A and B are shown apart, each in its own frame.
Chain A
Amino acid sequence: MSGQAQSLLDLYRTMLTIRRFEERANALYMEGKIPSTLHLYIGQEAVATGVCAVLKRTDYVLSTHRPHGHAIAKGVAPRDIMAELYAKVTGCCKGKGGSMHAGDIRVGMPPAVAIVGGNAPIAAGMALACKFQKNGGVAVSFFGDGAANEGAVHEALNMAAIWSLPVVYVCENNLYGASTSFSTVFNIANVADRAPAYGIPGVIVDGNDVEAVREVAIEACARARAGAGPTLIEAKTYRLCGHSRSDPLTYRSKEEEAVWRARDPLVIAAQRLKERGEASDADLARVEAEVKAVIDEAVAFAETSPDPLATDALKHLFVGESA
């Protein structure tokens, strides 16, 4: 998913893969196939897709309790994520992570950090390693508007700034931390307004416009790789679904949801593709079919994969015994 320059149709395919993956996961959850909660990313796909399109396989992505989109965009195989949701031994974490800890270090994404704000200092540390190793690598920390009020994020942004670390902090402001609205816990209009306090650039972007997200990510990553330090990107977006599977969404107005539903990142991208003549309805239908095949295969893989042994719980507490 990451690497070479991607067309808008490529970005659309990634966003659609995330969307269809999660819709299917949600249906499978309702069928009782997935023994966990799910924090869905529906509506925010343009953020992960736009940012990860700029990253190399060896760059790092740190995610949250809502990680499926980041994982797919960074290149974790959908079948490995689905098998993890199914708690199968073939999952990306061998059944030891589950939905909230999806990741695969082979593509630069360690298990997602489901403690709100907890990944911000880790991202700084991974960026510090890239700086030591002079490998040109970048670390990206995705976090929500809720996490922006965690002390860990403050400490991390300051450390990243004073050491000019190659890290990009991407705040996905979806206007709600669980059910708490942004305006009740912020006395400012934008999370990015805090960036000047750390002496770093703060950039606000339409988080439902995948090309706009990619543009700001290109600049932030270039700045990071050049040794000029971190950027705080605030992507304004919206969850078109509940916080978790048990969320009846009674704290948001239907009018507000309708406004954002009209700004669905997939709809925006599809319209633009057609307006520019980069894709026809037939092309989009073909992508839809390709994505469906990927998801079907992922589900089949998860369904047919073996469960872990109960005693596998004893494995992987420590690596090696080198000392």
Chain B
Amino acid sequence: MPMMSIAEALRLAIREEMERDPRVFCIGEDIGVTGGFGGAFTVTLGLSEQFGHERVLDTPISEIGLAGAAVGAAMAGMRPIADVQYGDFLFCMMDQLANQAAKMTYMSGGTVSVPMVMRAPVGSTRRGSQHAQSLEAFMCHVPGLKVVAPATAYDAKGLLKAAVRDDNPVIVFEHKLLYGSKGARSEKGALSPVGEVPSEDYIVPIGKGIVRREGSDVTIVGKLLTMYQALAAAETLAQEGISAEVIDPRTLVPLDKELILASVRKTGRLVVAEEDNRTCGWAAEIAAMVAEEAFYYLDAPIARVSSIDTPPPFAPVMEAFYLPSADKIVDAVHKLMGKN
């Protein structure tokens, strides 16, 4: 089975969907320029050579415009895969996402569909505050949007294909340190996981999480980069005799609640890790859901390992302080287990 980075897996998914369905096209900034970058992180590299510049459509630097064009094209029968160079730029297009894409089906009484995909790279990577934020909580808060967050190459291909085929707007969050982008667009300090990606057509269903590591003492929920930090923490904890179960929700909306609840009922303890900042965040929602639905199974308070409530700072020493990490997850588990 071919081994691929996440950037390669996403590219393969786009290529297969564009070959399969003439309604599918890409729209974004710097995605198809001949001699260009193939998007900010090389995901669309080479696609304009295969499909032409009409189907790999470079836009002006106009985030409202490109998002609205994706909304309108989707409403009129196309299947756009839009992307934004950095997740932070989603704020520029928020009206088109939150007021238009998300509400059109509802306001029409179910007669209008908006089958669009919006891909967005997130993660703090030494670029300062405006190319770094994780916006999962913002988008998960919008009724009418589906949100996915693939952390492996296998899931990247399968979830993106599922998103393209979904009849609703789907936001795809991708982590900059997981792409495995090569050449000038490679990232310092990247984890860049390479994984097996089947050549054949498959999807990862939207709404299904996965247990990445089984355990019995504590449940750690992590997505994107924090899923890997959770796995690293689980390895450390195992050496101490603490058995951690790691859950990757993969889809954030609709959430696979039962997978998380079943794990917490088994372990009695929950740590939620996220790169988004803490207040009114995604981890807070997971914690509330578990408190409401599995409170009597808990042997300890629920812990959150989130970024602090500041903009992402630039200096590496401050950025490390801001971000979650495997060590911070281990510390959180220790507290729940009565250690330290």
Q: Which of A74-125 contact B (CB under 8 A)?
A: 91-97, 101, 103-106, 110-111, 113, 115, 118, 120-125
- In the complex, B42 has a CB within 8 A of chain A: no
Set of chain B residues within 8 Å of A93, measured between Cβ atoms: 107-109
> Which chain A residue lies CB-closest to B206?
A323
Chain B residue at minimal CB-CB distance from A123 = B72
A322 contacts the other chain (CB 8 A) = yes
Q: How far is the CA of A316 from the CA of B103 in the complex (A)?
A: 10
By the criterion CB–CB under 8 Å, are A126 and B72 in contact?
yes
User: 1/0 per position for B298-326, CB-CB distance to A under 8 A?
Assistant: 00000000000000000000000000000
Range, interface on chain B: 35 or more
Known contacts A118-B96, A122-B72, A319-B168; decide if A156 and B65 are in contact (CB<8 Å).
yes
| Complex contact B100–A113 (CB within 8 A) | yes
Residues of A within 8 A of B67 (CB): 121
Taking a contact as CB atoms under 8 Å apart, the answer to whether A122 and B68 are in contact is yes
B71 near A323 with CB under 8 A, answer: no
Would you list which residues of chain A between 231 and 250 have a CB under 8 Å from chain B?
none
* Closest beta carbon of chain B to A189's beta carbon, Å: 26
Q: Are B166 and A323 in contact (CB under 8 A)?
A: yes
Closest residue of chain B to A163, judged by CB? Answer: B57
In the complex, B129 has a CB within 8 A of chain A:
no
Q: Check B65–A124 contact: CB distance below 8 A.
A: yes
Determine the chain A residues whose CB is within 8 A of the CB of B65 once the complex forms.
Answer: 121, 124, 152, 155-156, 158-159
Contact check, B99 vs A118: say whether CB atoms are below 8 A apart. yes
In the complex formed, the residue of B with least CB distance to A122 is B72
Chain B residues in 8 Å Cβ range of A315: 110
Tell me, in angstroms, the Cα distance from A127 to B65 when the chains sit together.
13
- Is there contact, CB below 8 Å, between B68 and A319? no
A133 B77 Cβ-Cβ under 8 A: yes
- Hey, which chain B residues are within 8 Å of A133, CB to CB? 76-78
Give me the interface of A with B, judged by CB distance under 8 Å. Answer: 60, 91-97, 101, 103-106, 110-111, 113, 115, 118, 120-130, 132-133, 137, 139, 151-152, 155-156, 158-159, 162, 315-320, 322-323
Task: Provide a sorted-by-A list of 10 A–B residue pairs whose CB atoms are within 8 angstroms.
Answer: A93-B109, A94-B110, A105-B111, A121-B69, A125-B68, A125-B70, A159-B65, A316-B105, A320-B113, A323-B203
Residues of B at under 8 Å CB distance from A? 23, 25, 54, 59-60, 62, 64-78, 80, 95-96, 99-100, 104-113, 143-144, 146, 162-163, 165-168, 203, 205-206
Q: Which 9 A-B pairs have the closest CB atoms?
A: A125-B72, A121-B68, A94-B109, A155-B65, A129-B76, A316-B110, A125-B69, A122-B72, A155-B62
